[in-house]
Structure 1
Amino acid sequence: MINRAVRMNYNTNLLELEEHMYPLVDVETPNVFHNLFPYSEVPKIAFNDRIVPHHMPDDIWITDTTFRDGQQSRAPYTTEQIVRIYEYLHRLGGPNGKIRQSEFFLYSKKDRDAVDKCMEKGYSFPEITGWIRASKKDFELVKELGLKECGILVSCSDYHIFYKMKMTRREAMNHYLSVIRDCLEIGISPRCHLEDITRADIYGYVIPFCMELTRLMEEYSIPIKVRCCDTMGYGVNYPGAVIPRSIPGIIYGIMTHAGFPSELIEFHGHNDFYKAVSNSTTAWLYGACGVNCSLFGIGERTGNTPLEAMVFEYAQLKGTLDGMDTTVITELAEYYEKEIGYEIPPRTPFVGSSFNVTRAGIHADGLLKNEEIYNIFDTEKFLKKAPQVAVSNTSGLAGIAHWINNHFRLAKEKQIDKNSELTVMVKAWVDRQYEEGRVTVVTDEELLQVIAESCKRLNLNLDE
């Protein structure tokens, strides 16, 4: 009979019975969880009601993949664009470095030039890290560039191990460990990207592999990170959901059974099922210090977790922005649209042109009386974007009055009331447009012309 050790957990101040070890389960045929992922049907979300505890770290942060995963789904950025965006990320992350790292491709001369120019900035944050093919030659390149950390792909589902790599689990593990050892030999800290973790055998492969990584850390005294990659967006945050789809279960297993500390665990989400943001927040709540994001969610297929979303998730969880400058988010959106030519969908939260624009007259009336009624927070303060009203057949007098006050930035004592002569005259013009069959929103240019003509008739000057 085996007697397992009883030890004190100083985080919970409770005695715990040491868990069983988790050896590699080297199967002959792949386990692709077709009970959860039947390819000819919509995937299943199953529950076993095994609940794991919240374990929010003292310190949490954001890491950036705009120049790596974000570049895999669009035309490559120029060196100048990368440097400019990196400067924005530095400002956005603030003096406390809440945007902790940014990863770069190192394949081409252009990639390496961008790294050199960004490193010349001398910023502590975001720290520049690499992403390379898993070869000793490329590790030497990382060292030559002066990078301390580099990402390595270690696909962990049987879909990848058996079907793509044509290996067994043991062969894949031995291959990965030899590559990671090569990285450690030259003093580079590896970041192991556990690709497709939400379709992997967590206790038969992922945990045993992570336990081997902890042994390598002890041997080399160099930190090794694990990035939990929800490559297909299958992860869910529901309490009691079964692994491998359970994000709480995955983070708990790596932390508790493989012995990884929170500061060495990251989550990387995809948005195939609209869960990238909620899953990233869940990873924080259950023990991961880092969540990996890209600006505006630009990434493979449906994209990654939007970085700007996690800035506001951080503030909601922590009750503080910890020095992050959220107004930079608007500057970045304008830079992408004007300089890079990227069109942001207008209803995108925080950055779309219509994210705080209302077209409903009853909402406009509320905004006119108190903007807190229909605005998510002080968007003027945090994003330099005051709430807007688009004028249409449903805007009403209140919507038109709000548009005038907002566009001309009228001081409170000079603001136009919804019953003013100017508002009534403009609304009469708007009503005629729709009575004659118009179906589109009135443009700013049209409104300005009508307002100018009405002001002339009323002998009114809004600029005074």
Structure 2
Amino acid sequence: MLEIMDTTLRDGEQTSGVSFSSQEKMSIAHLLLVDLGVNRIEIASARVSEGEFNTVKKIADWAKGAGYIDQIEILGFVDKGASLKWIKDVGCKTINLLTKGSYKHVTEQLRKTPQEHLDDVKREINLAAEMGIEVNLYLEDWSNGILNSMDYVYFMVDNLKDMPIKRFMLPDTLGILNPHTTMRACRRMVRRYPNLHFDFHAHNDYDLAVANVMVAIEVGVKGVHVTMNGLGERAGNASLSSVIAVVHDQLNMQTSIREDKLNRVSRVVETYSGLNIAANQPIVGENVFTQCAGIHADGDNKNNLYYNELYPERFGRKREYALGKLSGKSNIRKNIEALGIELDDNEMTLVTNRVIELGDKKEIITQDDLPYIISDVLKGSEKEKRVKIVSFAFVLSRGVRPSASVRIEVDGKEYEEIAAGDGQYHAFSKALWKIYTKLDKPKPDLTNYSVIIPPGGRTDALVQTVITWRFNGKTFKTRGLDADQTEAAVKATEKMLNILEDM
């Protein structure tokens, strides 16, 4: 079975601006190992700080008691045993030893010969064996090494393959590989050393990390490194959720990962990291299981014509049908069914047209908005309006009171006025009442004005404006629904004017 090593707590924490607290690291470690079923986790770099020492010790103490200590790994360095001592003191048992995987890194960063570096690495591995610490070996900058200094890579592995190293880990440190070069590079290693366990560690600089991981698995690597939500330095690492979906569906391979826990863990890491997941990120993005086009919802009603293997229930989610200008009756019907509301064909047409109208003004309408829309449409369509607000326009300038131009139609005849006020709606009201004064029509008193965002709705979608009126001793309310607060108030006012005609 393919091994999954998650390095959210080590490589993922190298994301700019991300730093997990001690309790957050403990929580993520528990979620990854216990809830998700990740095979191994890399939780820190050795010798970073006293605070990191205490955090890692806390995680190690928990892991020992829970039976997970063999799945905890620490990045360590060729430093004459300093990292090994640190790892031993915190109670961990595995070092991911960082060595140089390219000739350029050895000669220019370390300023050593390959033989000198090899000798240093061997001493570190022998010391680890004496201390009872298991070794996995990172070949840092391996992708550059295998492409540009292959003989050096072979020199290192040829001389280390018989030492007590459990895994050789092949990082694309600078994210330079593509699926073609990944295939050739990993295949060279697997064919030359068929008895060694290779891990592949991808970076996402060209947005190819998941594709590169897929190809590396196809040619025979036995483990891959991932992070939650693709966290990591620069453009990040391969995303765990995307890799798992690809492995399970495209490669038809099994892993230990519990898919139904992915979304929940992803959201926890999103909260702790402070980095929002893109709405269109595969598997865990907010919108990835949302159908927008009405034709897709229609197809889902007809034997799931627009479904693929990535059905949301696998990942602890559910399919949704967005409401907007692309919505058709099928989209809206799906949402209405979910709410337990029944509409006839004529009502469905009215609601669909209203959703499309609102969708032209704003990006998305939520299911929580729908009852408000239905109520607004059906109550507003009960009879012909005697009073219609034909148009209105506002002028706003700094240092000048807002003004409004209003045109209305009363019993088929149009009237227009302009007025200034203390705000947009106040200016609108004054212009309207100037018309009513000329027509010698009575005016109600406005006693309350409130704006409501539908529960669960979005502030960039719909608002409902509720205005309370008093007229001839009676109090009543009218409601207007729109993406714009003032326009919603205008619609509520139009309803009030028509009510007055019948009073």
TM-score (norm 2): 0.67
The reply on whether 1:305 has 2:261 as its aligned counterpart is no
CA distance in 2, matches of 1:278, 1:254: 19
CA distance in 1, matches of 2:254, 2:167: 25
The aligned residue for residue 241 of structure 1 is none
Q: Decide whether aligned partners of structure 1 residues 204 and 432 sit closer, same or farther in structure 2, where only a CA change above 3 A counts.
A: closer
The aligned residue for residue 91 of structure 2 is 146
Kindly provide the CA deviation profile for residues 339-398 of structure 1, in whole angstroms up to 9, marking residues without a partner as x: 55331000000000011112222222222334x322333634212222222211111212
Indicate which of 284, 292, 308 corresponds to 2:225.
Answer: 292
The aligned residue for residue 458 of structure 2 is none
**Unaligned residue ranges in structure 2 (runs of 5+):** 382-503
| Residue pair 1:359, 1:395 contacting (<8 A) in 2 also | yes
Letter in 2 for 1:164: Q
1:217-236 pair list within 5 angstroms: 217=163, 222-236=164-178
CA distance in 2, matches of 1:341, 1:403: 32
The reply on whether 1:427 has 2:427 as its aligned counterpart is no
**Unaligned residue ranges in structure 1 (runs of 5+):** 1-58, 239-245, 459-464
More relative contact order, 1 or 2 (CA 8 Å, 6+ apart): 1
How far has the Cα of 1:140 moved from its partner? 1.3
The reply on whether 1:69 has 2:14 as its aligned counterpart is no
Kindly provide the CA deviation profile for residues 134-188 of structure 1, in whole angstroms up to 9, marking residues without a partner as x: 3212211212233221112212223322332233333333333333333333232
How far has the Cα of 1:323 moved from its partner? 5.4
How far has the Cα of 1:115 moved from its partner? 2.6
1:19-38 pair list within 5 angstroms: none
Which secondary structure state, in structure 1, belongs to the residue aligned with residue 199 of structure 2?
Answer: strand
1:272-351 pair list within 5 angstroms: 272-316=205-249, 319=252, 321=254, 324-338=257-271, 340-351=273-284
| Residue pair 2:325, 2:357 contacting (<8 A) in 1 also | no
| Residue pair 2:261, 2:316 contacting (<8 A) in 1 also | no
Indicate which of 4, 25, 29 corresponds to 1:86.
Answer: 29
| Residue pair 1:99, 1:126 contacting (<8 A) in 2 also | no
CA distance in 1, matches of 2:169, 2:92: 18
Q: Decide whether aligned partners of structure 1 residues 272 and 387 sit closer, same or farther in structure 2, where only a CA change above 3 A counts.
A: same
Indicate which of 191, 195, 212 corresponds to 1:261.
Answer: 195
The aligned residue for residue 248 of structure 1 is 183
Letter in 1 for 2:52: D
How far has the Cα of 1:329 moved from its partner? 0.9
How far has the Cα of 1:454 moved from its partner? 5.6
Task: State the aligned residue count.
Answer: 374
Bigger Cα Rg: 2
How far has the Cα of 1:443 moved from its partner? 4.2
The reply on whether 1:129 has 2:73 as its aligned counterpart is yes
The aligned residue for residue 365 of structure 2 is 442
CA distance in 2, matches of 1:323, 1:421: 51
Which secondary structure state, in structure 2, belongs to the residue aligned with residue 111 of structure 1?
Answer: helix
CA distance in 2, matches of 1:147, 1:213: 23
TM-score (norm 1): 0.72
Letter in 1 for 2:369: E
Which secondary structure state, in structure 1, belongs to the residue aligned with residue 100 of structure 2?
Answer: coil
Query: Higher strand fraction: Structure 1 or Structure 2?
Result: 2
Letter in 2 for 1:423: M
CA distance in 2, matches of 1:247, 1:320: 19
